[in-house]
Amino acid sequence: MLFGPAVVVSLTVGHKLGADYERLQIVLEQIGPYLIGVAAAIYVIRTAITRNWPLAIVTFLVASLMCREIHFAHMDRVIFALFGTAGAWAILWRKRIAASPPDWPHISWLLAAMVTYALSQMIAKRVFSARHIPIIPGEDAIHTALEEGAETVGHLILIVSAVAGSWRRRGAEGKK
């Protein structure tokens, strides 16, 4: 869970050393949809192989994040609807989810990705700016690069979470 803060510290130190982040920001914005697309594709394949239908909820959420990264018109509203759909799905499947054995390697990497995405959203909302909590020196100058950097690390961690853990097909629970 320290990957996100590590990239923020690295980018802040780089800024203090005189690095120019305009090009980095552009590159990170360009590769973002591809990285989240890889994560979504791996999750689709993993869900199909394992027949772990609670994992299908995670796959749906990752695909929703991919749509957000592609930046369609009104996508923020659509994302809330998609996340609400996933929440309703989780409520309907709560017994299946509770009956599924925990896959700790997957869960730990997924949690790390969620924390990193939360950090990127906090940066996007300017929580660490001089007006709010001035923790990051020079945040105003490198705000977008910090956000894109944390988001890109979140995408990379999500790829790891898609691969980590069990890929075995579920027993009777997976056939329901």
**Helices vs. strands in the chain: H and E counts, helices first:** 8, 0
Instruction: Report how far Cα 110 is from the mean position of its chain's Cα atoms.
Output: 8
Could you report the per-residue pLDDT of 76-108, keeping only the tens digit for each?
788 888 889 988 988 998 888 888 888 899 999
Q: How far apart are CA 56 and CA 54, in angstroms?
A: 5
Could you report the per-residue pLDDT of 20-64, keeping only the tens digit for each?
677 778 888 899 999 999 999 999 999 999 988 789 999 999 998
The residues spanned by each domain of the chain are 3-167
The pLDDT value recorded for residue 170 is: 66
Residue type, 50: T
Residue 110 in tokens: 């997924």
